[in-house]
């Protein structure tokens, strides 16, 4: 693939930054059932040996992410970068205790609203330092208005931000984002070129940041789907239709 050739030719100055859910794992109704696509684990280990940095930046918890991917070599940043899972354990931001309490309060508030209004098909997932409110099971393309309005107000009150992902409302600390985490890692690694792959609105932000920050070659890979967020098609240099197709694309980096 022609777009990837400059990256392949300069691996020591190139970073690879990846999402997990919907990117290297198919989207499934139950987040606990998500599994990495066949062939990806071995490929990731090969890439990590060759490139300056290979990192996952996910909304999923970092320990869970590391377990599901199972590859040695990549770095694993969860909850949008609020934590990193390493071989020696979990490293979290010093602000984690405060964020944890806020996440607990937000999860409880969301559940109270769902119960009070009988919002069938909505489910709250407490992710330690963040909260996801899933509405995929409602059968609607949009979340209930009352739930979205509550999320906007409640998030601000707790110093969090709210956003819409693929059939999910995400609540995370205001100070944490995939784009900011990407920037920190890219600068630490000193890379001039990057590949960024993702499927969600937070990944679109990361792609935009990559275009603004990186002086060399930027290749942005978006996942094509009926649920793709606004701006993804415009930001992506390459679009693929499935995690398996992404693996085939990444193979060109070797």
Q: Taking a C-beta distance cutoff of 8 angstroms, is the pair 150, 106 a contact?
A: no
Q: Taking a C-beta distance cutoff of 8 angstroms, is the pair 136, 125 a contact?
A: no
Q: Taking a C-beta distance cutoff of 8 angstroms, is the pair 16, 214 a contact?
A: no
Q: 19 an active-site residue?
A: yes
* Residues 6 or more apart in contact with residue 147 via CB below 8 angstroms: 110, 113, 114, 117, 119, 122, 133, 135, 169
**Catalytic annotation, pick one of 19, 128, 199, 203:** 19
Q: HSE on the CB side for 94, CA within 13 Å?
A: 0
Return the closest-CA partner of residue 176 out of 83, 238, 87: 83
The residues that are catalytic are: 19
């Amino acid at each position: 693939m022609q777009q990837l050739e400059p990256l392949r030719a300069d691996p020591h100055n190139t970073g690879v930054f990846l999402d997990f859910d919907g990117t290297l794992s198919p989207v499934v109704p139950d987040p606990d059932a998500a599994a990495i696509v066949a062939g990806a684990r071995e490929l990731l280990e090969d890439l990590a040996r060759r490139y300056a940095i290979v990192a996952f930046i996910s909304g999923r918890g970092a320990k869970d992410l590391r377990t599901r991917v199972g590859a040695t070599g990549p770095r694993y940043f969860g909850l949008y970068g609020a934590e990193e899972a390493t071989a020696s354990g979990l490293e979290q931001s010093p602000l984690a205790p405060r964020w944890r309490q806020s996440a607990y309060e937000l999860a409880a508030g969301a559940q109270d609203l769902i119960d009070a209004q009988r919002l069938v098909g909505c489910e709250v997932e407490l992710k330690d330092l963040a909260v996801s409110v899933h509405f995929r099971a409602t059968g609607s393309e949009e979340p209930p208005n009352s739930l979205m309005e509550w999320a906007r107000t409640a998030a601000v009150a707790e110093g969090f931000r709210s956003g819409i992902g693929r059939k999910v409302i995400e609540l995370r600390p205001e100070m944490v984002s995939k784009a900011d985490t990407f920037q920190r890692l890219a600068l630490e690694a000193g890379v001039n070129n990057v590949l960024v792959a993702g499927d969600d609105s937070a990944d679109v932000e990361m792609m935009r940041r990559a275009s603004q920050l990186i002086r060399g070659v930027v290749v942005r890979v978006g996942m094509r789907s009926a649920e793709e967020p606004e701006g993804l098609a415009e930001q992506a240099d390459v679009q693929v239709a499935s995690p398996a197709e992404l693996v085939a694309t990444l193979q060109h980096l070797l």
